[in-house]
Structure 1
Amino acid sequence: MWEKNTMFSICQTCLRGIYSCQRNSQNRRQNRACCWFSFLSFVSILALSWMYVCFIAFNDRDGVNWEAFKTLKKWVNWYMIVMVVSVVLATYCLLLLVFGLLHLAIREPLNLHWLHKVFLFLGLLTVTLGTAGFCIKWKDEWKTVYMSFQATAPFLQLGAVVALTLISWLVFQSYHRAKTAACKVFIMMTFLVVSAAVFLCPIAICSPCITNNLPPKPALVGHRGAPMMAPENTMMSFRKSMECDVVAFETDVQLSKDMKPFLMHDNGSSFLLRTTDVKDKFLGRDGDTNTNFTLQELQTLNAGEWFVRTDPFRSVSSLSKEEKMEANNQTVTSLSELLVMAKKHNVSLIFDLKNEKNSTGFHNSDSYYTTETIKKSGISPEKIWWLTPEYRNDVRKIAPGFKQVYHNEQDMNADGGSFLNMNYNSLSAHNISDLRKKNVSVNLWVVNERWLFSLLWCSGASSVTTNACHSLKNMSKPDWHLEPNIYMGIWISVDVISLLLMFGLFLWQRRRNHVFRRNINERSVPLLPH
């Protein structure tokens, strides 16, 4: 018994030291302490939600890094820093919340130390600034967060049931300790309402991945090749994407000074700064545009060393020594080189013309010179997915065999087309399903994460443009797929088990509270005189 009491005392001291930074228990104003515990609970929920948002938005992390690069002219993986901060914040808040709950369980005063209070305010400020940044600079990402619930909601509900079961013993403890009937009614009614909402919310969950009829797996389109495994828009990158059995290469085309099409994503001034050694090769010309360089000059640049040095996707370590050497020696690729590869391996080609809006007429346009280059290559016309809307009719006249692809339904319907290429969060699962029933091909970009690919697979997308073809090619089924009967069985079983456990905890807490009160009453009885 002495050893048991000693261990309990040691645990009390440890918990008190972490939560209150005090060795001895001090009964301060408990109303204020409870307010701080409520604040801790609130910040913990916000931090956990913010971490969820960051993990979901990880699919589009390049957008954040790219915006930062345009401002700072230096490539840093800023989004990874945001991720680390969000994980540390959520972990800290949740651990502190657990210690607070343990304080309640062993009837310790909730005296939160002032340093924890400061950190909680900093955490709240971090989440607030992050949310404001999303709303101002990246508001479309909230569509992605909403989409994610279609995949994760069934499993989040199961997690919520487990969490509710775990904290129910504290709720029942508070119920039995309450001194007035009104307080008891309030505690129990609140808990019952929350429990009913959690237990029954699957009725309102609509997930395309809970189905008996799973559509075919979407085909893969290599976004700038395979940029996680090789420098983007280089021949090595496109060769790597062929190992993933992609049906098409996606790239970005610009014209050089001598009107030769070449591949490069960044455009405008400093378009070579991120992915080449232009600063070293052409001193003072790193701020020039595409019209200031001939194709011969462009192909003297190194377009791969940056990839090995900056490791933008944290994937360089997976490459062999020979592959790293090959990546280090990549150059700027011409469209003609890519067309030879696409023709040889029977792969389609889709591309953006980065500077087409600056053209003054069709025969002076990027569309014209690009189309002429494609025709000279001898590639089958139906292998070209023509995306650029400017001069579409002119291109159709000189190259009628190109497959016309559209950015939105309105333009597609007006032109009698049947191929859409859109951002993945522009269409709902219902929209995708309806379009597929009309025999419209739907390609969605850019899809890198397994959860998102799984959701679009269940929705019926024809193909997706991806940076992560090496990861998605190995998926044999969606990660989130469940047949309705199986999910219903899991849902009902978990709810029933949770209810039984809660009922058992309620009875145990009532018995424990009864014993505690009896001991208190026995101690309060005065000793009889001898």
Structure 2
Amino acid sequence: VLHKATAPFLQFGAVGALTLLSWIIFQSFNAFLIALIFLVVSAAIFLCPLLIKSPCLIAVEELPEKPKLIGHRGAPMSAPENTLMSFNKSIECGVLAFETDVQISKDKAAFLMHDHKPGFLERTTNVKAKFPHTTFNQSSDVTLNFLQSLNAGEWFLKTDPHQTVSQLSAEDKMTARNQVIPSLLQLLQLAKQHEISVIFDLYSSGENDTEITVDIILDSGINQSLILWLPPHRREYVKRRAPGFIQVYSNESDLINNTGRYLNVAYNALSRDKIRELRRQNVSVNLWVVNEQWLFSLLWCAGASSVTTNSCHLLKDMEHPDWVMTPSTYMAIWISLDVISVLIMICLYVIQL
């Protein structure tokens, strides 16, 4: 993906480097093999823009609207992931939706936690400090009261996973230090209050986890249209039980088979042309996980509807992609640079004679 963002400028740089090196090459240009290699490499560099295709080589008036932002586990560069502090921080970014991970506890409560293998509590809570000789294997081993007795914020300050803790205020550090594992209901209440959508993975360890999750959502009173339902398990049941949920698919074949309108895939799963084709078909395309501004710029030019990001605090302030250039402007620069380079190299060659 990076080459699509940088290819035009890499070619400009390659032409400049080739021009500078030509003086050295010409000193041994009488050798047939060296001359041949130099001419072939030069032709390849001069003509490679014929093969360069970048989404941002478009007219400014053709630039799609800025993709909406979805907070990946909230705003995990500014607060401990999957905590209410993290989701509140993402609200400050103006996110379209909260992205999270849901599991069901022993007492049939839904809570937010990404890790779901044996030792699933150890990375983001102090469970090992409180219970050093016990390993909790799955969500159904623990109750919600037990989960919310754990600290879910100190790890963030200690490990500084995104090297951002130094940027936090003293107040934010204190808030982070006192975070606990939220229930899904708490997140739904926050989303309802601010009219923000919720999308989540459901890490199920029980047969009825889908039903429990749907019941909690419906009982919360949140508008069904704010729920972006992603889990594929028992999707037909969910459609019948909660017809107002927005059904989101994680691959194009399922989307087509269900005449869906929402696709959620990795940022490198679709070509620029495919993204634009889907948009023409009124399909909203969300791409994950997009943290860098250059990548966000590229997907903006390509026509992504939204992106899931860890760095909403950075992307929210972008008013335009890093660069946009019309194909005609690019061609003019390309040809002009090539011509200038050739003329300089001819002069250098003549001087060498």
1:325 and 2:174 are equivalent in the alignment: yes
Q: Which residue of 1 aligns with 2:104?
A: 255
**1:393 equivalent in alignment to 2:236:** yes
What is the percentage of aligned positions where both structures have the same residue?
58
**1:188-199 matches, cutoff 5 A:** 188-199=35-46
Helix, strand or coil: the match of 2:150? coil
| Structure 2 gap ranges (5+) | none
Tell me the residue number matched to 1:157: 11
Match of 1:343 in 2: 192
For residue 433 of structure 1, what is the amino acid of its counterpart? R
Pairs within 5 Å for 1:355-434: 355=204, 358-360=205-207, 365-434=208-277
Q: Which amino acid aligns with 2:180?
A: T
SS in 1 for 2:287: strand
- Kindly report which structure 2 residues correspond to 1:55-94, keeping only aligned pairs within 5 A, or say none: none
Larger radius of gyration: 1
Q: Distance in 1 between matches of 2:137 and 2:260?
A: 38
> Following the alignment from structure 2 to structure 1, what is the Cα–Cα distance between the partners of residues 271 and 324?
17
Q: 1:197 is aligned with what amino acid? A: A
Cα-to-partner distance string for 1:86-106 (whole Å, 9 max, x where unaligned): xxxxxxxxxxxxxxxxxxxxx
1:19-56 C-alpha deviation (Å, 9 max, x unpaired): xxxxxxxxxxxxxxxxxxxxxxxxxxxxxxxxxxxxxx
Report the Cα offset of residue 390 of structure 1: 0.7
Query: What TM-score comes out, normalization by structure 1 length?
Result: 0.65
Query: How many angstroms apart in 1 are the aligned matches of 2:346 and 2:319?
Result: 42
Deviation, 1:290, is 1.3
8 Å Cα contact 1:249/1:348 also seen in 2: yes
- Between 286-295 and 423-432, the greater mean CA deviation after superposition: 286-295
Aligned to 2:80: 231
State the SS of the aligned residue for 1:285: coil
Question: Which of 262, 269, 279 is equivalent to 1:436?
Answer: 279
The structure with more helix, counted as a fraction of residues: 1
Give the secondary structure class of the aligned counterpart of 1:397. helix
Note the C-alpha offset of 1:167: 1.1
- C-alpha distance in structure 2 between counterparts of 1:489 and 1:245, whole Å: 39
**SS where residue 264 of structure 2 aligns?**
strand
Q: Distance in 1 between matches of 2:242 and 2:175?
A: 36
- CA separation in 1, counterparts of 2:95 and 2:325? 27
2:130 counterpart of 1:281: yes
Amino acid at match of 1:193: V
- Does the 8 Å contact 1:154/1:205 carry over to 2? yes
In 2, Cα distance between equivalents of 1:454 and 1:421: 18
8 A contact 1:433–1:460 mirrored in 2: yes
Q: Whole-Å Cα distance in 2 between the matches of residues 410 and 189 of structure 1?
A: 49
* Distance in 2 between residues matched to 1:166 and 1:315, nearest whole Å: 41
- Partners of 1:412 and 1:495 lie apart in 2 by 46
Match of 1:484 in 2: 327
Q: Which residue of 2 aligns with 1:37?
A: none
Query: Contact 1:268–1:290 at 8 Å: present in 2 too?
Result: no
Distance 2:277 2:326 in 1: 21
Q: Does residue 169 of the first structure (1) align with residue 23 of the second (2)?
A: yes
Equivalence map 1:135-154=2 (5 Å): 147-154=1-8
Equivalent residue, structure 1, for 2:47: 200
CA deviation map 1:260-306 (0-9, x unaligned): 00000000210001000001223422343211111011011111111
Offset of 1:505 from its aligned partner? 2.2
Amino acid in structure 2 at the alignment position of 1:188: A
Q: Which ranges of 4 or more aligned residues in structure 1 deviate by more than 3 Å?
A: none
Which among 53, 67, 72 is matched to residue 218 of structure 1?
A: 67
8 Å CA contact retained: 1:451, 1:480: no
1:160-203 Cα deviation digits (max 9, x unpaired): 1111112111101122xx5xxxx2x3322221111111011111
In the aligned structure 1, how far is the partner of 2:156 from the partner of 2:135? Answer: 18
How many Å separate the matches in 2 of 1:223 and 1:249?
7
Shift of 1:322: 1.1
Alpha-carbon distance in structure 1 between the residues aligned to 2:100 and 2:346:
60
Cα distance in 2, alignment partners of residues 336 and 508 from structure 1: 78
Per the normalisation by structure 2, the TM-score is 0.96
Figure out how many residues of one structure are paired with residues of the other and give that number. 351
Q: Distance in 2 between matches of 1:206 and 1:166?
A: 26
Q: Which has the higher contact order (CA 8 A, sep 6+)?
A: 2
